[in-house]
Chain A
Amino acid sequence: MNTTPPGAADDYVPHLREHRAPVEPVRPVRAVGSAAAPPMRLADEFFYLAHDDQSGRPRLFESATAHGLAAALLAELWWEGRITFVGRHVRVTDPSPPTDWLQHLVLDRLAAEPRHTATRTWLAFFGTTAYEQVATRMWQVGLVQPRQVGRLWRQRIVYVPADMNTAAWSWARLSYQLRNYQRLNAFDVALAGLALHTQLDPILLDGAPQAARAFLRRQVEQAPMPLRELLADLGAVVGGAVLSHRTT
């Protein structure tokens, strides 16, 4: 009686065969200064920016990273035309499902709980899960690999970039363009805005003159209105997290 009924095995086994483990992407071959091969998503880029491109260790304190990723996910949905930001509130404008599973999840949550509209509330809510979710999404497409680090009593998982060049690309691009006062494209304005409002901008402008910093601010201030609304709330949430921090 230990034999599996043939029908059941047929249903199950092909699935096992079809589902392959995520593999490291082929190292993109490109000339210096060219864009990364696959189109990147904002939260993934911000994740890279907030972590060391070699070791995957955080460059930014935990609550700022969490809220920055939450804001990046909301910005992705705004980019896709699903939501917008009016004043201090999020509005769902198109609840049709996005192709990306994480965007889909975030949008469903926004649509399912219409009683909460304050952007700050949603940043706090998604901030509790964004880190793991974005890391998982990046792992699925082979952008990062989880690795256990630390001693016995302080073991934790860091997500090590699969390819250092891909990981460093957003940093290099923003840093270079800002230092040379080149206008950023819309995507990079959003990314730079996230960095600015999580206080991550010093890593972009380390050693750069004050004028580069002012240039960064001006670029972000010229972002579309809904994005500015989101960034203003992000800045307030990160500031609030600094003020209300307690060691647990």
Chain B
Amino acid sequence: MSHSKPDTVSAVLARGRLGIPSVVFFVIAAAAPLTVVAGGATTGYAVTGVTGIPVSYLVVAAVLALFAVGYVAMSRRIVNAGAFYTYVTRGLGRPAGVGAAMIALLAYNAMQIGLYGGAGAVTAQFLNDRYGWHLTWWACALAVWAIVAALGVARIDLNGRVLAVVLVAECVVALTFDAIMVTHPANGTVSFDTLAPSHVFAAGIGAALVTAITGFVGFEGTVVFSEETKDPRRTIARATYIAVAVTGLLYGLSAWAMSVATGPDHIVEAARTDGTDLIFNLVSPYLSQSVITVARILFITSLFAALLSFHHTVARYLFALGRERVLPAVFGRTSRRTGAPKVGSLAQSGLALSVLAGYALAGADPIVHLFFWITVTGGLGVLILMTITSAAVIGYFARIGHTEGTWRTLIAPGAATIALAGILTATLREFATLLGIAPDSPLRWTFPTAYALVALLGITWALLLRTTHPDVYAAIGLGAHRDTGPLRTPDTAHQPT
């Protein structure tokens, strides 16, 4: 009979909790479908010269689904907004955790800052074509930067309902375009060449795979919401699989449809000529101009949603690390009036501004050198993080008592680790192809080395903390759950030693 008693507390706290659709919308917003379809896939074709982009999206979706098995299994036990960083700490120890945190900071910053290149160039082109203005890409990028910086400090993000409308519109546009492109194939035949599995073993596939992974970055954010969902055990797992499946199919289909419309032999050439305009140019003969305009605006809004989402991600990462005193405590401060992680937000905006200024002064190409190079470098960072996290899942479940099956705790994470490590190896071997530079260019090592350096820095810092500030070291990986100050000893029962 005691079960008939109403549980007012749970009922009140359940109000405003998230369901599966909200979580899916939040994470797909960061993945920005139209940005990936119109920007990522086309630039991927153009820069890498690899025609296997469509099959890469599908292969990566499969690998990420495998990765998600262990990842969400761990999210059921560790309810924490820190995600990768926390999981690596719990699975592989604190030094590895701080190393992962540094990689994450660099990777998400790279994702965010790279997107400014796309946003600036696409917005400038749109306005110039439409109104005959002569705006430069960096002027538009700075305008977008100013908006993102202001919204970041004011702690304003895109409302779930707005995101839902924009995302559904984006998907409708992408699917409509796909249908038109597939029904108007080059030479009158629909070719499945670019979907052939043989591409997976062809040269340049590493570059194509990491381009694909870059398109998915953001999906790993589902677990961050676990504390705020109606049913953390189910909601997160389903939202993650749905996000991977929806984006994977959409990306694969769209990239393939483009290759159908141009013919598989001409897709690289067409992408190099038209750039991010390719998809719009391919469908414009068959659609009214106003539809194309709406689609171009949605392309810009999708870039903006992703920019804002990654900005908040970085600011919150800095905040969590500041609270744990892994970074200077000043990062743990919030704006008194808005509760925004002020210092983290300003630091991110400052970094973005200086990179934008550097690119503008150097006169570099915003799409190839900023949008593509820097976001795929971000994608590489997330790939490294996922590989480490996969291994951490195995480590975590090996050291705790649990009732999960071996599929979730060993087989799937093990297979995901091997697959991700394989992609990582192929990527590093073909990084020159990825950047579209000569194989002996020193640039190919610059970006991967940056990750090695920050990881090393993180590990060293953690080891230093162990000797100099044992209390800070003990609390690493607790995120916002860290008990503030020396009020009481942290709960380290579930921490690896």
Contact = CB atoms under 8 A, between A and B. Distances in A.
Contact of A64 (B8, B339, B341, B479): B339
Interface stretch (B155-163, B236-244, B289-297, B347-355): B155-163
Contacts of A125: 9, 12-13
A247 B152 CA distance: 12
A202 B16 CA distance: 31
Contacts of A64: 334, 339
B336 A59 contact: yes
A128 B11 CA distance: 12
A176 interface: no
Given A236-B481, A240-B81, A247-B157, A63 B339 contact: yes
Contacts of B7: 113, 115
A109 B8 CA distance: 9
A61 interface: yes
B155 A229 contact: no
Interface string B15-28: 11000000000100
A41 interface: no
A197 interface: yes
A80 interface: no
A35 B260 CA distance: 81
B484 interface: yes
Contacts of B484: 197, 231-232, 235-236, 239
B9 A236 contact: no
Interface string B207-245: 000000000000000001101100000000000000000
Contacts of B282: none
B12 A236 contact: no
Nearest to B337: A61
B487 A242 contact: no
Given A199-B334, A199-B336, A242 B319 contact: yes
B485 interface: yes
Given A116-B9, A202-B336, A245-B155, A221 B486 contact: yes
Given A115-B7, A228-B487, A61 B333 contact: no
Contacts of B81: 240, 243-244
Interface residues of A, number: 41
A221 B485 CA distance: 8
Contacts of B9: 109, 113, 116, 121-122, 125
A248 interface: yes
B487 A221 contact: yes
A200 B341 CA distance: 14
A59 B337 contact: yes
Contacts of A244: 81, 224-225, 227-228
Contacts of A132: none
Contacts of A116: 9-10
B75 to A, nearest CB: 14
B278 interface: no
A242 B334 contact: yes
Interface string A53-97: 000001111111000000000000000000000001000000000
A124 B17 CA distance: 13
Given A228-B487, A236-B482, A246-B157, A199 B333 contact: yes
Interface in B476-492: 479-488, 491
Contacts of A62: 339
Given A115-B7, A243-B320, A203 B336 contact: yes
Given A113-B8, A125-B9, A243-B81, A236 B483 contact: yes
A217 interface: yes
Contacts of B408: none
Interface in B311-329: 316, 319-320, 323
A172 interface: no
30 contacts: A58-B337, A59-B336, A60-B337, A61-B335, A61-B336, A61-B337, A109-B8, A113-B7, A113-B9, A115-B7, A121-B13, A128-B15, A199-B334, A221-B487, A228-B488, A229-B487, A229-B488, A232-B485, A236-B481, A236-B484, A239-B479, A239-B480, A239-B484, A240-B81, A240-B480, A242-B316, A244-B228, A245-B157, A247-B156, A247-B159
| Complex A-B, nearest 5 residue pairs according to Cβ-Cβ distance, in ascending order | A61-B339, A235-B484, A239-B480, A232-B483, A243-B81
Interface of B: 7-10, 12-13, 15-16, 26, 81, 155-160, 224-225, 227-228, 316, 319-320, 323, 332-341, 479-488, 491
Given A232-B485, A235-B485, 13 more contacts: A61-B336, A88-B491, A115-B7, A121-B13, A221-B486, A235-B487, A236-B481, A239-B323, A240-B480, A240-B481, A242-B334, A243-B320, A246-B159
